[in-house]
Structure 1
Amino acid sequence: MTTASGDRITIMLVDDHALVRDGLRRIFETQSDFEVVAEAGDSHAAVSLATRHRPDVVLLDVEIPGDHVTTTVRRIREATPDTEVVVLSVYDSPELVGRLLDLGIRGYLLKSATWHQLVAAVRGAGHKSSAVLLAVSMDSLSRMNAPPPRVLSPRELDVLRLAAEARTNLQIARSLHLSEATVKRHLRSIFAKLNAVSRIDAVNKAVAASLIGPPNSKGNTSVPRRRPPMIG
């Protein structure tokens, strides 16, 4: 079976750590049917280089500087529709996996996955296999079709958007004309509803579930567009 670029599967590596990219490159160099044609360290370079090189597969780290991973995947898919995307992640998040599957990724692997799983995911994507390889926990798989997290109240969303801007409890309280104790109470409720362990975790889960938009370049949190229900 051949790929869009010929006998070899061409790959672009996207990770903000040069050592990680070097390690991934070495893995793929052991396989005669792979060729790494480009590397990028942030989302904007990833889209630009994918547009230029049009690789068969982009291996994309979930957390790189620039746009949210969902935006990066969407922009790559729009710029070069024949390119498949496989995501590497430290987040075992069914909400995020669901959103990325909606965008057409061909694999989602935790960084605890084996190199055999990684090679299989990239090879399958490169050959346009109908299968999607998910190397996530059983808990995450079981939660993917579970009901979405309890919806946050409008006030809780206000608090979380400001928390996403790295504001302190006092700053949030002043912005919303609340007491600091009330802000803390809202944050405890948010953590409970999202099953989050920290502000960053709550923000990430809320963004993944489209409850709030990702912070923009000025540090403000955008309002998400209404979209159809998603997996997870």
Structure 2
Amino acid sequence: MIKVLLVDDEALVRSGLRMILEASGDIAIVAEARDGDEAVSAVLRHRPDVVLMDVRMPGRDGLSAARELGEQADPPKVVMLTTFDIDEYVHSALRAGAVGFLLKDTPPSDLTEAVRTVAAGNAMLSPTVTRRLIRTFAGRGLSQAEVAKQRLSALTERELEVVCAVGRGLSNAEIARELDMAEATVKAHVSRALAKLGASNRVQAAILTHDAGLI
């Protein structure tokens, strides 16, 4: 059973998310929170596998809470809930360790699959949404680009190919087909690349490729 914490200041939103997720049969809502402070406390008490958290809330926002949760020894998988057009802080949340984000109008079936995906250790890299967000909010300053290039220089040529494919929003299966590799080999390359880059998830690695101007 996947344990989920819901964080949103609107009770109606939390109620809707609970109804959708608990209908799946393999997801349990272990707690709800109304702001970032309550979210951090709830994580310590209930140790959820996944946290679905709104970006903008009265009091402590989701960005600050995501950053603190990401500093824990065994952090939960944090997915930000957002309305893309107005939530300009999502990119910073990804840098803080969040594994992705969902739009609040995400179809119910996609919501449950998203929770399963992040619980299994994969990032939310939607080719149509996350890739656009990374392009929009990734900084392009020279010093930041140089730092990103320096970090990526630790990768082998093949690892860099795989990471760039990750940055384009491709899944392991899609990368395997594009690069004519076994999916297990792709997974191994991704794991080694993340370790070399000091990245905690695929989203952070993808951001590096955008910062370096490779995507």
**TM-score normalised by length of structure 1:** 0.54
User: Equivalent residue for 1:71?
Assistant: 64
Identify the match of residue 62 of structure 1 among 49, 55, 76.
Answer: 55
Q: Which has the higher helix share?
A: 2
Q: 1:80 to 1:26 in 2, by over 3 A?
A: farther
Residue correspondence of structure 1 range 83-162 to structure 2 within 5 A = 83-92=76-85, 96-129=89-122, 131-134=123-126, 136=129, 140-145=133-138, 147=140
CA–CA distance in structure 1, aligned partners of residues 39 and 48 of structure 2:
11
Q: 1:142 to 1:76 in 2, by over 3 A?
A: closer
2:78 and 2:99 in contact (8 A); partners too:
yes
2:82 and 2:103 in contact (8 A); partners too:
yes
Deviation, structure 1 residue 103: 1.4
CA–CA distance in structure 1, aligned partners of residues 97 and 118 of structure 2:
11
> 120-129 or 53-62, which moves further after superposition?
120-129
1:92 and 1:137 in contact (8 A); partners too:
no
- Is there any run of 5+ residues in structure 1 with no aligned partner, and where? 1-7, 149-228
Deviation, structure 1 residue 33: 1.1
User: Equivalent residue for 1:47?
Assistant: 40
Structure having the higher Rg: 1
Q: Which amino acid aligns with 2:50?
A: V
Deviation, structure 1 residue 142: 3.9
1:93 and 1:140 in contact (8 A); partners too:
no
Residue correspondence of structure 1 range 5-16 to structure 2 within 5 A = 8-16=1-9
User: Equivalent residue for 2:28?
Assistant: 35
**TM-score normalised by length of structure 2:** 0.58
CA–CA distance in structure 2, aligned partners of residues 45 and 11 of structure 1:
14
Other structure's SS at 2:40 match: helix
CA–CA distance in structure 1, aligned partners of residues 16 and 87 of structure 2:
27
